[in-house]
Structures are given as C-alpha cells and as structure tokens.
Amino acid sequence: MKDEDRFTRAFILHPSAFILSETEGVELSSNASIKILIAEDEKNLGLVLQKELSRLGHQVTLTHDGEAALGAARESEFDVALLDIMMPVRGGIDALRELRQMEQPPEVLMMTGHATVETALQAMKLGAYDYLTKPCHIRELEAILHKAYEKRQLRRENLILQSRLTYKEKAPDIIVRSHKMFDIMSLVRKVATSNAIVLVTGESGTGKELVANAIHCFSTRHAGPFIDISCAAIQETLLESELFGYEAGAFTGARKRKLGLLELAHGGTLFLDEIGEMSLTLQSKLLRVLETQTFFRVGGVKKVEVDVRIIAATNRDLNQYVEEGKFRSDLLFRVNNFTVKLPSLRERPEDIPPLAEHFLAGVSGGNRFRMSDEAMEVMINYSWPGNVRELKNVIERAVILAAHEDIRPEDLPIELRTHTPTNHAGTNGDNGQAGSLDELKKKQILSVLEQTGWHQGKASEILGISPSTLYRQLKSYGLTRAKRLPGEML
Ligand SMILES: Nc1ncnc2c1ncn2[C@@H]1O[C@H](COP(=O)(O)OP(=O)(O)OP(=O)(O)O)[C@@H](O)[C@H]1O
Ligand SMILES: [Mg+2]
C-alpha cells in the first residue's frame, strides 16, 4: 500500500466542526419572563406592582423592607430588584450597597416618592441601573425592567463568550479510522445533544477525557464552561470544597466565600474523572446534586441551584466496586444510564498508523519526520498496555532519538521490538519479557520476520545483524515461515 493511501484515510473529527448554531445564546426578546424582587413599604403599592407585573408574565417576589429583600436575594437569584429608597429597618440605598456585593447580583432600579437629584445620583454611583419617581406608569416601569434585564443577560452572555473563546482554542482533534471508533463517535454525537449523564469507561489512555471534551463540544452547552476534576488526585475534604465551594468561616482558613466547580460549570459541563475513587460520603452528596440540581456550599444554608451536565469517567469496573461496597449502587444506577465504552488500542490496530502520523506531525512541527514502514509494523504489532497515551509518548521519544528523518524500529523502545505480535483479538498478549534470553531472542527474530513478511534482508537490518547470522540463527532455532501472518490481517 502506498504511503499516501495508508495515511490519508484517517479522519480528523474536529469538535468545532460540529458546533451548532452560532446564535444560540441568551434570549433577549421582550416577552422574557423576568425574576423580579420588590422592596416597597407602602403595602398597597407593593401589591399592585406585584399583581400587574405577574399579569405581564414575570415572576415577582414582594418584600416590605430592605432587610427582607436582602434575605430573599440570599435565598435565590433575581434578574432585577426594584427598591424603594425610604423604608423602615433598612432603606433602599443600604440594600443596594449590599446587593452589589453579592455574586451575580440583580440589576437594581430605585423607586422614590421624593426623588432628589442627590439620592438618585448616589444610587447610580453605587451601581443602580436607573431610578424612577412615583407614581410611575406600569408600561414605563416594564420598559425599564426589560432594559435592566437585557443588560444583565448581556453581561452574562459576555462571560459565556469569553469562556467559549478560550475553550475553542483548546478543542482537541480526535483521530479515528477504525469502525469501532467511528461507531462510538456517532453515538457520542447523538448523546451529546441530550442532557443525559454520560459515563465514559475504558483502560487508561484510551481517550476518555478527550471524548468527554467532545461530548461537551457537540452539545448545545458548547458555549458554556467545560470543567474537569479528578476525584483521585485530591483528598476527600479538599475535593468536597472544590466541588461545592464554601462560605466564609465554614472552617479554619475559609476567610472568603469560594465558589465550587459545580457553580463555575453552570450552563456547561462538569467532567468527574476517576469517579470510582470518590468517597462514599461524597458519592451520596453527588447523588443529591444529580437528583435535585441543587446543593449547599460547605458551611452554607442557602440552596444553590445549578444547571450542569455531568460526564463521569472511570477505568475501574464499577459493578465490582459496588459488590465490594466501594461504590453506591444508586449512584451507579444514575451514572451508567448511558455508557460510552472505549476499546483499547490493541482492539483497533487500524487506528495506530493515523494516530502515529498525527502525533508525529504534532511533535516534529511541519513534516520533517516520517515513520518507516518497518517501524509502523512494529507499532501495529505491539499490544499498547498504555493505549493512545503510550503511543504518543513513544512517538515523542522517537523524535528525540531519531538520527534520521525516518523513524526506524531501533528508535522505538525495546519492549515494542521484542514484543510477540498480538492477535488483535482484544487480549493483551504476552509482553515478551518472560522466559530465557534465548526465548526472547527467538521471539524478537520471529516478530521482526513477521513484520517484514519474512524478508530476511530487511529483518537482519532491523535486528542489526548480518543476513548470514540471521540465517544461522533461524536454523538453530528451527524457525520456519508460518502459514498465516498477522501482518496479512491488516
Ligand atoms: N483518538 C484520539 N485522537 C487523538 N488523540 C488521542 C486520541 N485518543 C487519545 N488521545 C490522546 O491520548 C492521550 C490520552 O488520552 P486521555 O487523557 O483522554 O485518556 P484517558 O482515557 O482519560 O486516560 P486516563 O484513564 O489515564 O486518565 C491524550 O493526550 C489524548 O489527547
Ligand atoms: Mg483521563
């Protein structure tokens, strides 16, 4: 097969090629339902405002002073707050000042019966969106409410856009040639568009994180953040505060409130890597998040609502973990509803050449290096216990070691060259390191001969011995050509 054929049949699935509509985003239309918080001490006026604004389709919470309004704002998020200036207990200006300190505060409109330029200016300086003098027309009020709402939405959209830009640059290529991986990628594209929890399984280095990333990219959440955390890398209490965040004073050293990853991933995807390593206590907390889409920050009393899609990954057998009491069965039931199982690299040897070429082009910048046919054969026949990650490392190492522009078998690690060809049936073959030295040598000769289609000239070159030495060794080991060669299966 010619090189061009061999290497151009690979397909690069670039996630951004699948990005959905560019205009997907925040609704700015004038019939949006706005979450409004009112603080008005004149009870009748408050009730009229609530009734009229609700009739227009908005969600209105009514309070009668600044203190109660702040309490409501701590309980849930509002788009716009409508604050009277003069109120008992706590006035509007005071409430405004405190509201502005909150995470994602509402836009604030001030209302006053006795507008003086001075208080209005003070309110604007403190960050109020606008002010109104009473009495005001409900239509006029609604128009200003919409403007304030749109400003808040735009501010959020800007944040989303920023995260998207940084994200797009990082979008990885996924190299696929085997039917197995093609099927998996089409499944991935289908499940991506839903909000379903996805569990990605597979041996270490098979591309679980890459696929999780792709699911996010193919989803309607692609403009939102993609946040990943490994449940194995950090200690339990730290993982808890990383995930859920904490309130000031929740524990020694918690001086300021910190948002957790669940909150930061709002509108996007949270990738829980190595979920099998999560402690049982945290597992039950996670289960609650999955069921209610709400949680409490560590040391917090206010319920936080989130809209996050969860993707989990593991290289463990979670069913076995359940049997051993290490994993909650109800959590498994939740997360394994949709499983993407990535095959090991030895189960899809067709992917080896295009992956090797891809990594080679990546590390050698331009195309100065190329794989020799012999080196490619060695790689195809290896069992890759570390899967794609190992392949990537091997290529990077080979580029450093190679003295020529073509990567030869001797540039590859010894374990690849001494490896008995796998039958590619999915089992990890003998790694060739057992047995006597003689046995090892015999295996190596046999493997190189098979890779070269029993071309003794080529084989002796790879083995670094003369053709006559090879001939002698063949005779002493009693090696003859087998009927069916692993190379012919490719
Ligand atoms: N199909 C592929 N195309 C291109 N690169 C790939 C592919 N599959 C894996 N890789 C690369 O191989 C490396 C390992 O992949 P990844 O980190 O996604 O594996 P993993 O399954 O999450 O491994 P682990 O279980 O050890 O965390 C990464 O550098 C990734 O970019
Ligand atoms: Mg990983």
Q: In this predicted model, what pLDDT tens digit does every residue of 254-289 receive, in sequence order?
A: 777 788 889 888 889 999 999 999 999 999 999 999
Distance 211 CA to ligand 1 centre (A): 8
pLDDT digit string, tens, across residues 191-212: 988 999 999 999 999 999 999 9
Q: Ligand 1 pocket check: which of 198, 229, 388 to mutate, most ligand atoms within 8 Å of Cβ?
A: 388
Phi, psi at 150, each rounded to 5°: -65, -35
Ligand 2 midpoint to CA 34 (Å): 41
Question: What's the CA-to-centroid distance between 97 and ligand 2, angstroms?
Answer: 45
CA–CA distance from 63 to each of 66, 144, 148, 313 (Å)?
8, 20, 20, 46
Domains of the chain: 35-159 (3.40.50.2300), 172-341 (3.40.50.300), 346-489 (1.10.8.60)
Per the prediction, the chain carries an average pLDDT of 81
Strands 226-230 and 370-371: unpaired
Q: Tell me the whole-structure pTM to 2 decimals.
A: 0.59
Residue 3 is predicted with a pLDDT of 38
Give the chain's largest Cα–Cα span.
109
Taking residues 130-136, what's their average pLDDT? 80
pLDDT reported for residue 123: 87
Give the pocket of ligand 1 (CB within 6 Å): 172-176, 202, 204-210, 315, 355, 388-389, 392
| Closest-approaching ligand to the CA atom of 200 | 1
Q: Which residues contact 398 (CB under 8 A, 6 or more apart)?
A: 375, 407, 411, 412
- Read off the pLDDT of each residue in 345-352 and give the average, rounded to a whole number: 93
User: How far does the centroid of ligand 2 lie from the alpha carbon of residue 204, in Å?
Assistant: 7
Least confident among 41-45, 72-76, 209-213, 485-489: 485-489
The number of the ligand nearest the C-alpha atom of 207 reads: 1
> pLDDT-based confidence at 489, cuts 50/70/90?
very low
CA of 275 to the centre of ligand 2 (A): 11
Q: Ligand 1 test: best mutation among 170, 173, 210, 316, most atoms within 8 Å of CB?
A: 210
Q: Which ligand 1 atom is at minimum distance from the Cα of 209?
A: 18
Pocket test for ligand 1, best of 12, 181, 201, 209 (most atoms within 8 A of CB): 209
C-alpha 219/C-alpha 15 separation (Å) is: 10
Q: Positive or negative, the Cα torsion across 372, 446, 485, 379?
A: negative
Residue 358 C-alpha to ligand 1 middle, in angstroms? Answer: 13
pLDDT category of residue 154 using cuts at 50, 70 and 90: confident
Q: DSSP secondary structure string, 424-473? A: -SSS----S-SS-HHHHHHHHHHHHHHHTTT-HHHHHHHHTS-HHHHHHH
Angle at 321 between CA 317 and CA 324, to 5 degrees: 140
Among the ranges given (6-20, 377-391, 406-420), the one the predictor scored with the smallest mean pLDDT: 6-20
Q: Which residue has the tokens 């706005």?
A: 34
In sequence order, which residues have a C-beta less than 8 Å from that of residue 418 and are 6 or more positions away?
432, 433, 440, 443, 444, 447
Among 21-30, 253-262, 300-309, name the most confident range.
300-309
- The protein residue whose alpha carbon is closest to atom 9 in ligand 1 is 207
Rounded to whole angstroms, how far apart are CA atoms 284 and 302?
Answer: 19
Q: How high is the pLDDT of residue 116? A: 66
Q: Give the ligand with the smallest distance to the CA of 350.
A: 1
Considering the chain, what percentage of its residues have pLDDT values greater than 90? 39
The confidence score (pLDDT) of residue 172 equals: 65
- From 320, 233, 243, select the one nearest 281 (Cα to Cα): 243
Instruction: Output the pLDDT for position 423.
Output: 52
Atom number in ligand 1 closest to CA 212: 18
Helix orientation angle between 437-451 and 456-463, rounded to the nearest 10 degrees: 130
Alpha-carbon span 366 to 359, nearest angstrom: 11
CA distances (Å), origin 196, targets 273, 290, 370:
17, 11, 42
Å from CA of 195 to ligand 2 middle = 21
Q: Whose CA is nearest to atom 29 of ligand 1?
A: 389
Q: Which ligand is nearest to the Cα of residue 210, counting in written order?
A: 1
Tell me the mean pLDDT in the region 366-394.
90
Share of the chain above pLDDT 70, in %: 82
Q: What is the pLDDT of residue 343?
A: 97
